[in-house]
Structure formats: C-alpha cells, structure tokens
C-alpha cells in the first residue's frame, strides 16, 4: 500500500485495526470469519422504499407505472423486498444467538416465520395508513387532497415507517425496527420509537421535533403538532446505578386528544379522551377526559420540573 496522496496511510490503517480490536475485545466479541454481522441501514432503506411502493403503487411507486400493471408491480416488488428482508432478519437473529438471546439452530426457521408474518400483516398496515392519511386531510384546512397528504406530509412519511417498524418490533427483530424508525427520523425530524402503540387516524401536523417514547400508547383519532414530546419523567436504576431497561414510563393518550405545539408530557400519565393540551404546556400528571389544559393550568399544582428523559 503506497498511500498515494496520504503519507502514512498504512500506519493509519494499522491504528484503526488496533482500535477495532480493542473495542471488540472490550465488548467480548468473537472474531467472525465471513461477511457482515449486523443488518445494514442501506439495505433497510431500499427494502422500505420497496414496501412503500407496494403499499401505495400509484403514488409512491415508479413514475411510469400504469394502473393495469399494479398487481404485477406489487407482486414483483414484494417478492424482492421480502426476500431482502429475510436476509436482514437472519442477520439480526444470528446476532441475537451470539448474544445468547436466541437459539442458533432456531434462527433460520424463525427468520422465515418473521418474514411470512410480516408480509401477511401488510394489508392491515395499509388500512391503518389509509386512516392516517384521511385524518391528516380532514384535520388540515391547507390540505387540498389525500394525494397531497400522502406525497408531501412528513407526518405521513413518518407513520409509514412507524407502521412497518412497529410490526417488525412486535415480531422480535427490534434492531431492524429501530433502523427503519431512525431512517424516517433523519428524513423528517419526527422521532417515534417502534415500540410505541398508535391507534388509527393518527395525524402529526408539521411534525418537526415530535418525540414519542417506546412505551407510549396513543388511541384513535389523536392529533399532535410540532415539537410535542411524549417522554419519560425519570429512569429507574438498580443498586449499582445502572438504568433498568423496559417498564412503562411514557404517557397514555386516549382517543380524540389534541396536543398543540411544544407541549411536553412526561411519565406514565393518562391524558383523558377528548382533551386538548395547549401549546408549550409542561405536564407530569394525568388529566381527566374532556380537559382543556393551558400553560397556567399546567403550572398550578404541578411543581415537578426537570430535564426531559426519553
């Protein structure tokens, strides 16, 4: 290796190798011989692009697609996307096996089962997304058509990713789910953990800065505006001060709730059905159905303050 325009390139490569080795030794990684060990963001991006096209072929599919060719396109695209997904699922399950959370001998059969179950769920995912598109169209006077909503609205883009990611999360491949979610997060500024449970007719207006935590539960026909946080109030630690994973720590938002821009709701609290939470409200307590909460009301009798934890 000559180094070309970079004198000392061989030494840089050697130092990077030593850094990798130190990291792998510190993480107790077994040296692998062969190809990639973990799923690929690039592969998942291509898979999700195919799934988007298969879900909405005449809007998110190829520009030259004709309606009389829809079924052929959907079938071909799904065959390609699900085949590629199978390879990514295998990588995650093998990683789980190495980490001791999955039997190595069971990974191949399980990978096929995950992909089959995911494929079977796509019609239901499409129905949920239809309800989200309609909610956005009906809830925004600036929307001129459902097509505009589907093609242009970042909240819908985020929900396509979330509906896919949530299904993968429930099928036991959380790393793939998180990658799918983070692809959308990077593109839209909307951060939805794939574990969050979100009912039909969900509308995120504008969207930038919205954060929805892992254990949040959101009912039907809920609307959020930009910069809303549904986060955790505090984390539980063990006797060694290490964070305890899991546990319900994010809000429950019941049906037909509206949460306006900049509101922050923290902890396992319940926002009752039909409530409206005003802009920039800081809320760490439950409110009953039909509540109307403003900044002044959120400060009264709600002294808790602190850093937002997600």
- pLDDT tens by residue, 138-149: 999 999 999 999
| DSSP per-residue string spanning 190-236 | -EE-TT-EE-SS-EESS-TT-EE-TT-EE-SS-EE-TT-EEEBS---
Separation of first and last alpha carbons in the chain: 46
Residue range(s) of every CATH 2.160.10.10 domain in the chain: 209-310
Whether 172 shows a pLDDT value over 90: the answer reads yes
Whether 221 shows a pLDDT value over 70: the answer reads yes
Whether 33 shows a pLDDT value over 80: the answer reads no
CA atoms within 13 A on the CB side of 91: 18
User: What pLDDT, in 10s, does the model give residues 233-258?
Assistant: 977 777 777 777 778 999 999 999 99
Joined tokens for residue 22: 């130190």
Looking at domain 36-189, which CATH architecture does it have? Answer: Orthogonal Bundle (1.10)
Q: Report whether 277 contacts 265 (CB < 8 A).
A: yes
> What is the C-alpha separation between 224 and 260, in angstroms, rounded?
6
Whether 310 shows a pLDDT value over 50: the answer reads no
35-39, 189-193, 306-310, range with greatest mean pLDDT = 189-193
Quick one: what percent of the chain has pLDDT higher than 90?
78
Quick one: what percent of the chain has pLDDT higher than 70?
91
Phi then psi for 51, rounded to 5 degrees?
Answer: -65, -40
62 Cβ contact list (under 8 Å, min separation 6):
53, 73
Q: Report whether 244 contacts 235 (CB < 8 A).
A: yes
Beta sheet of 276-277, edge-to-edge order = 203-204, 223-224, 258-259, 276-277, 292-293
Whose tokens are 């793939």? That residue is 176
**pLDDT at site 27:** 80
> What is the CATH number assigned to the segment(s) 209-310?
2.160.10.10
**pLDDT at site 306:** 35
| Nearest-5° Cα angle at 134, 60 to 126 | 50
Joined tokens for residue 278: 């005003």
| Nearest-5° Cα angle at 232, 163 to 243 | 105
Whether 70 shows a pLDDT value over 60: the answer reads yes
**pLDDT at site 308:** 36
> What is the C-alpha separation between 152 and 228, in angstroms, rounded?
20
User: What pLDDT, in 10s, does the model give residues 85-124?
Assistant: 999 999 999 989 887 755 666 888 999 999 999 999 999 9
> What is the C-alpha separation between 117 and 113, in angstroms, rounded?
6
172 Cβ contact list (under 8 Å, min separation 6):
110, 114
User: What pLDDT, in 10s, does the model give residues 174-188?
Assistant: 999 999 999 999 999
Closest among 74, 39, 40 to 57, alpha carbons compared: 74
Whether 279 shows a pLDDT value over 50: the answer reads yes
Residue range(s) of every CATH 1.10.3130.10 domain in the chain: 36-189
Averaged pLDDT for residues 211-224: 98
Higher model confidence: residue 36 or residue 1? 36
């Amino acid at each position: 290796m000559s180094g070309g325009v970079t004198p000392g390139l061989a030494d840089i490569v050697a130092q990077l190798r030593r850094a990798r080795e130190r990291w792998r030794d510190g993480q107790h990684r077994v040296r692998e011989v062969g190809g990639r060990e973990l799923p690929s963001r690039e592969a998942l991006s291509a898979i999700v692009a195919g799934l988007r096209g298969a879900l909405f072929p005449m809007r998110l599919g190829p520009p030259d697609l004709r309606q009389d060719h829809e079924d052929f396109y959907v079938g071909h695209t799904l065959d390609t996307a699900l085949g590629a997904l199978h390879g990514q699922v295998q990588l995650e399950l093998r990683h789980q096996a190495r980490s001791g959370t999955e039997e190595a001998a069971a990974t191949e059969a399980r990978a096929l089962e995950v992909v089959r179950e995911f494929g079977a769920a796509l019609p239901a995912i499409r129905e949920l997304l239809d309800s989200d598109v309609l909610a956005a169209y009906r809830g925004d006077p600036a929307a001129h058509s459902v097509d505009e909503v589907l093609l242009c609205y970042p909240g819908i883009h985020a929900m396509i990713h979330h509906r896919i990611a949530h299904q993968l999360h429930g099928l036991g491949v959380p790393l793939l789910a998180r990658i799918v979610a983070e692809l959308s997060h990077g593109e839209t500024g909307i951060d939805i953990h794939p574990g969050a449970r979100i009912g039909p007719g969900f509308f995120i207006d504008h969207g930038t800065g919205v954060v929805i935590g892992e254990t949040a539960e959101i009912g039907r026909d809920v609307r959020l505006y930009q910069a809303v946080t549904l986060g955790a109030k505090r984390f539980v630690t063990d006797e060694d001060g290490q964070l305890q994973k899991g546990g319900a720590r994010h809000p429950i938002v019941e049906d037909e709730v509206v949460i306006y821009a900049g509101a922050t709701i923290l902890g396992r609290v319940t926002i009752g059905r039909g409530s409206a939470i005003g802009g920039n409200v800081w809320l760490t307590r439950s409110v009953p159905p039909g509540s109307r909460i403003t900044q002044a009301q959120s400060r009264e009798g709600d002294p808790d303050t602190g850093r937002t934890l997600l």
